[in-house]
Structure 1
């Protein structure tokens, strides 16, 4: 293909399974905006556009959904989670970040806001690391009512925020879902405690063209399997997961869904510390598995914040050579 596509053209073509001049490419890590949408917009533009000129600008969840004002000591408190309107200060900062970036990027540059699923937020509310997740899972099995009440409230809040984010200029939502792995809920349990609340939240993103569901497995979950097939009917055009960490592979996923696939690079592998040959081999492996179609080449999850720019610069140079 002789025509050099814009990032918007390239990503849209990949979503539709059409030919691209090269695969769309993106990678990301976290920033420290200290509660400021303006600072997050500046750091995001500098990293994604100025420094690396990536095909998707991804607003990281570094202006987090507000935790309950009072620390949750008992799961019954989840029934009392507040309904949040768009005047919520952190929501206002997220929307400001979107508007500032859209003004800088122009009308068609792919811009996505990262949010977590209702279940993921409940995990976070109940405690750091894996303690909160384990507590929510155990409680859901024994006393599901407060869990379901909390999920419903968070889903409604997210729906409002997503709708406003698209109206503010986001191309879509990057929606990260925890709990859908063999180490966490069973498949049947995720269909009860994850699936319906995911879909309720995603109703707010219906006007977006670049909605992506990320099926999350932590680096410690290398032996686990994600329930990939539970997400193939979600109303989004692309699915993201750590394909180098846990199944399915990209080639297997191509047979399971007609959605675009986002992955191919291990977030703790060559992209963060590998040689040029190792980085190139991993990139070529992803392209060969998919024949370069229906693929957004990306890390499976966030790379470490302190990673050297060198392997990232190598990867960015190499992607221009991939056909």
Structure 2
């Protein structure tokens, strides 16, 4: 068994497929910072460091990119979306948040910033189902919108890493059989994903999250479409949709992030079910190349007793040791 590691050492070892003292562990939900980077930093530190001592600090997208998220936008309006700079309030406050956290935790603690893909922002602005049809009907307007959004994100990612982020948690919607076809995503999503991620090149902990809605069923994510993305980790809801963790190990050399159902035992128990789910993730990967995490955000009102239990199980049961 490896000697006790710091979060930095533990995550670095997991990325390299090396032995760990226990698997890196993180979970998350949303906060209400009311537009303040300082407030988001405070809430983030309280949750990830002070309360749960998790291995990765995840800045949530709670200082939102300046597009509507209520499904009220029209694609033709988004096609005229402007280029933004670092005086944009949400961008400025994100950087305030990152700097405040980094100053508090020191230079090594793994710190990631959550951003969505250009296609995701468009779908959230229009409404997912309406957005899919609108993009199919007018792909040129969609391309114009996503090209500008990608340029804005590229700038923000670059500055976020300069400010102290270890990498970007890049969430991609639409790459499932319930949304676009694989070919559609290759032409409508991928080019703008890669354009945005150019800004994250200096990060050592970049993660692509292939998003499937928790209430969707019988759909599959296009996991293999992301295995060549310039990131170190692939995240997806493996308890909702394939591939399994063991299957994914054969599909990519990148580290994997998942293992816990975001609407499962982590949010409601029981202890035995939660322990079994954690043990399953560990056994599928032999505790190598794994960051144990929920597949997507847990509900904000999740009883903290289950989050505390998961954290204790990791330390006391020995189930997460290599």
Separation (CA, whole Å) in 1 of partners of 2:154 and 2:234: 19
Aligned to 2:178: 183
Aligned to 2:13: 13
TM-score (norm 1): 0.96
Aligned to 2:91: 91
**Match status 1:59 vs 2:59:** yes
What's the secondary structure of 2:79's corresponding residue? helix
Gapped regions of structure 1 (runs ≥ 5): 127-131
Matches within 5 A, 1:168-247: 168-247=163-242
Gapped regions of structure 2 (runs ≥ 5): none
Separation (CA, whole Å) in 2 of partners of 1:160 and 1:139: 27
Separation (CA, whole Å) in 2 of partners of 1:74 and 1:307: 34
- C-alpha spacing 1:53/1:77, structure 2 compared with 1 (3 Å): same
Separation (CA, whole Å) in 2 of partners of 1:2 and 1:184: 43
112, 135, 154: which one aligns with 2:130: 135
Q: Report deviation, 1:144.
A: 1.0
Separation (CA, whole Å) in 1 of partners of 2:39 and 2:299: 20
Give the CA RMSD over aligned residues.
1.3
Q: Report deviation, 1:143.
A: 1.9
Contact 2:31–2:60 (Cα < 8 Å) also in 1? yes
- C-alpha spacing 1:72/1:267, structure 2 compared with 1 (3 Å): closer
Separation (CA, whole Å) in 2 of partners of 1:142 and 1:61: 29
Q: Report deviation, 1:2.
A: 4.4
Aligned residues: 317
Aligned to 2:121: 121
Contact 2:267–2:298 (Cα < 8 Å) also in 1? yes
Aligned to 1:23: 23
